[in-house]
Amino acid sequence: MTAAMNHPNVNELRIGILTNHLNNIDGVSKHIFNLVNGLKQLSPSIYCVVISEGGNFVETYKENGIETILMEDFSHDNRNPINFLKNILLANNFVNKYGLTILHSHNHYHANIARAVQYFCKVKTVQTNHGIIPRVGLIPHYAADKLIAVNQHIVDYFSNKKQFPSGKFDFIRCGIPKETSLVKKINSPIKFIAAGRMVKEKGFDIYIKAAATIKEQVTIPTEFLLAGTGDEFTELTKLNNVLHNPVTLLGDVKNLPELFQQTHVLINPSRSMSEGFPCTIVEAVFRDNFLITSLFNGIECDFDKNIDGYAFKVDDEQALIQCILSYLNNREEADQRAAKFSKKARSLFSQQLMAEKTLSLYSQMLE
């Protein structure tokens, strides 16, 4: 019996997923993509529609049969009282037009839009929390019937808050498809990569600085790549130029998992104190990339720095350099760690498990 068959009300599941942008190098966009595909694999009768402002990942959604609705000024970036009210009315119209039974938001702005829609019609609401939301802004940060945490440190945060009873939230890790066609990597040059939205919290500036030092000190053929776009792209380009371009800036990459097939090491220099477990890490580790990461808040929930890879203190450029040197000098041992962590990650970050747990949550809410 399939997971979907265990839920008699599966045919009543008509899900509207609310998010900001849909971009190629964005963990939330990948999470939603894999969730919808996972739900469809469990039961084609589950109806899902993704509502967003748009982005460069939209075409991939459509190519994979994921229905998308693009709404101008729907993003949190374009928030103001008029847009907020307009988006409530539009979301309410979509609930009625498509017969949606659940609105599933992936940030607190859209969670509040979904909550407001509940004043007009009978719809359940879910909010996935991809990190701990900083205490800024005027609207409530957690505004749904059910909350999902993607990492254990977010669960711990909810558990310590008296306004969140245990039945209010579920722990569901992000899941991605298992790669079945791994290719043998070329051993030289050794390719390091960092990837993500180019914002200050991602720490890509210390990655560029560390790469410059390695290029000066080491004769082993190496290549440092940086994939992504964002607010800091211009500043990072300037820094890279000043340091004589130690890093190749790739800009937007349509198929990041395919690129990870060719790289050896993912460097995650995040300085964020709020994010969960980045999807980029999971995608790279699934493809046998060794992980060098900062000890940002949340990483040690599923990563053991003594077993799974190397780690350094947030913003510690010299410690990052030492991690890179350690990898270059101990490749055989490091690659063994990478293989073991890849196996561990495939168990933890299963697309099927994510879809099954989410389907179970949806079904319980409609009972």
One domain, residues 124 and 254 = no
Is the domain of 169 the same as that of 25?
A: yes
pLDDT along the chain (367 residues), means of 10: 55 91 92 96 94 94 95 83 92 95 95 96 95 77 93 84 78 87 77 95 96 96 96 96 97 92 96 85 94 92 94 97 97 94 94 96 93
Q: Is residue 183 part of a domain?
A: no
What token pair was written down for 190? 């050794």
| Number of domain units in the chain | 2
Tokens of 20: 């900001």
Residue 54 lies in a domain: yes
> Does 185 reside within a domain?
no
**Do the Cβ atoms of 66 and 88 come closer than 8 Å?**
no
- With respect to residue 80, please indicate whether it lies within any of the assigned structural domains: yes
Other beta carbons less than 10 A from residue 78's beta carbon: 14
Torsion, Cα of 116, 119, 121, 124 (10° steps): 60
Residue 1: what pLDDT?
Answer: 41
- Considering the domain boundaries, does residue 58 fall inside one? yes
Residues 15 and 60 in one domain: yes
Boundaries of domain holding 105 = 4-175+350-366
162 shares a domain with 86 = yes
Same domain, yes or no: 165 and 218: no
Which CATH number goes with the domain that contains 308?
Answer: 3.40.50.2000
Confirm whether 181 is domain-assigned. no
Q: Judge if 40 and 168 occupy the same domain.
A: yes
- Residue 26 is assigned to a structural domain of this protein: yes
Pair (134, 156) in one structural domain: yes
Q: Is 203 among the domain residues? A: yes
Name which of 71, 87, 62, 67 is nearest 21 in CA terms: 71
Q: Which two tokens stand for residue 289?
A: 């990339």
